[in-house]
Structure 1
Amino acid sequence: MAVELYLDLLSQPCRSVLIFAKKNNIPHEVRNISLMDGEQYGDHFGKISLIRKVPALRDGDFTLTESPAILLYLAQKFQTPEHWYPADLQQRARIDEYLSWQHCALRLHGSKVFWLKLMIPEVLHVEVPKEKMEAAVEQLSDSLNLLEEKFLQDRPFIAGGRISLADLVAIVEVMQPVACGLDVFGGRPKLNAWRDRVQAAIGKELFDEVHQNILGSQERVKEMDGSKLESSKAKILNLFM
């Protein structure tokens, strides 16, 4: 039986879940949830996720939220190739370590740059102070430094010689600020080479397919209706400003 995946591909974690499901031929049905249209607050989705966030998974009567938990569930239920979450204790610990760190580091800082540089000025029509933007870019740079120096070091991938769930979760976060026009790979040959390896391991066609919408964000924002975010405007500004 196919699992149901509730996704919005503007969301980084949703992209990691969809890439993993497609790459591993996991039977799945995508249920699109438009965050911009507030569909996460609908009655139906509320029965799937009380926290009102995507991605979410439903497998029969079982529901699950949080992308790392969803990825681990899919990997173990469908017995995907071992390199995604190896049996080796230390390799697995490296993956767990990255998944535990990234929420309040690379994910937070990449998202912040995306909103400050693109969504807040272009959709909410709020001017972002220069010092706020500069501080956000510096925080993102610090996280990218840690990705290179702490988590990658001299390895091809985070857990060793092959792609794992950690690399999949990392790459979608790195691509988020790229979508708003920030060159995160310039002057970072190690990060650039890792990106190329991850893309090759995923497959360029699948990688491009899943990132198509987000990488078109600079054009798409021109058509977005900012009034749909009016009820969330104060919350968004408080979070990122």
Structure 2
Amino acid sequence: MGLEIYLDLFSQPCRSVYIFAKKTGIPFEFKKVSLMAGEQYGEEFSKINILRKAPAIKDGDFCLAESVAIMTYLAEKYKTPDNWYPADLKKRARVNEYLSWQHTAIRVHGGKMFWLKVMIPKVMGIEVPQEKMDSAVEDLDGSLKLFEEKFLQDRPFIAGDQISLADLVAIVEIMQPVGSGLDVFETRPKLSAWRDRVRDAIGAELFDEAHQGILSAQAAAESMDGSKLQHFKAKILKMFL
């Protein structure tokens, strides 16, 4: 039995796994999991990932969750080009440093912006207080500033001259607020130039394909069924408002 990857490309971590597998030519079967429809809570998916989150993989009788763990597993199993997860100790440490940091910084603030600007007002029909929006923008700005000053600096990519898993994880997270209508690249020439290098390294066709859904999310939100989120309304509001 071949590799199965369970994905919803509205999800940032799912996009990183998808792009990585496609770009490196790893053969896999795409298994769509609609997070909006709550398919991750179904009985069948729980057999793949009891954490009930996507992405997840099933490689024969081996199941694995969490995007970073999945990509490093695939990099080592399929011996992907060294730039993605370098063998060089210091370069790999740079990749791991970013991957360790991003969970509580770029990921949290970029994802929150998408919920505040799209999911909560347009799908759930709940007005977001302006002070909450302003605070979220400030937090995101702070993380992006740290990204440029600490992790990117004057290098073409996070770990040096070539794209790595760190850049891939970074770009999908930073594209999330763009999908909400907040162009974080507009006033940041260094970040914008890095985005263009990442897109070129991935390939424009694959990059655009993976982000097509999130970049049309504002329009798609008008037809989304907000009732599917009502079961999680209290939790969502507690998290974001």
**TM band (smaller chain):** over 0.9
Cα deviation, residue 81, structure 1 = 0.3
Alignment partner, residue 238 of structure 2: 238
Are 1:201 and 2:197 an aligned pair? Answer: no
Identify the residue that residue 17 of structure 1 maps to in structure 2: 17
Give me the whole-angstrom Cα distance separating, in 2, the residues matched to 1:220 and 1:233.
Answer: 20
Matches within 5 A, 1:166-205: 166-205=166-205
Structure 1 segment 74-153 matched on structure 2, within 5 A = 74-153=74-153
Q: Deviations over 1:187-217 (max 9, x none)?
A: 2111000000000000000000111111000
Shift of 1:47: 0.8
SS at structure 2 position matched to 1:160: coil
Match of 1:72 in 2: 72
Aligned equivalents of 2:197 and 2:66: distance in 1?
Answer: 26
CA distance in structure 2 between the partners assigned to 1:223 and 1:110 by the alignment = 23
Report the Cα distance in structure 2 between the residues aligned to 1:11 and 1:191, rounded to whole angstroms.
22
The Cα of 1:234 is off from its aligned counterpart by 1.1
AA in 2 matched with 1:18? Y
Query: How far apart are the structure 1 equivalents of 2:233 and 2:27?
Result: 37
Identity %: 67
Q: Do structure 1's residue 4 and structure 2's residue 4 form an aligned pair?
A: yes
Question: What is the Cα deviation at residue 7 of structure 1?
Answer: 0.5
CA RMSD of aligned residues (A): 0.7
- Identify unmatched segments of 5+ residues in structure 1: none
> Which residue of the partner structure matches residue 220 of structure 2?
220
SS of residue in 2 equivalent to 1:31: strand
Partner deviation per Cα, 1:6-58 (whole Å, 9 max, x = no partner)? 10110000000000000011010011000111100000000111111100011
Following TM superposition, by how much is the alpha carbon of 1:2 offset from its aligned partner in structure 2, in angstroms? 2.8
Superposed CA deviations along residues 82-133 of structure 1, whole A, max 9, x for unmatched, are: 0001111110000000000000100000000000011100001111000000
Query: What is the rounded CA distance, in whole Å, between the counterparts of 1:114 and 1:137 in structure 2?
Result: 11
Does the alignment pair 1:47 with 2:41? no
**Where has structure 1 moved over 6 Å in runs of 4 or more?**
none
> Hey, what's the Cα distance between the residues in 2 that align with 1:80 and 1:171?
20
TM-score (norm 1): 0.99
Gaps of 5+ in 2: none
- 1 CA distance for matches of 2:158 and 2:107? 16
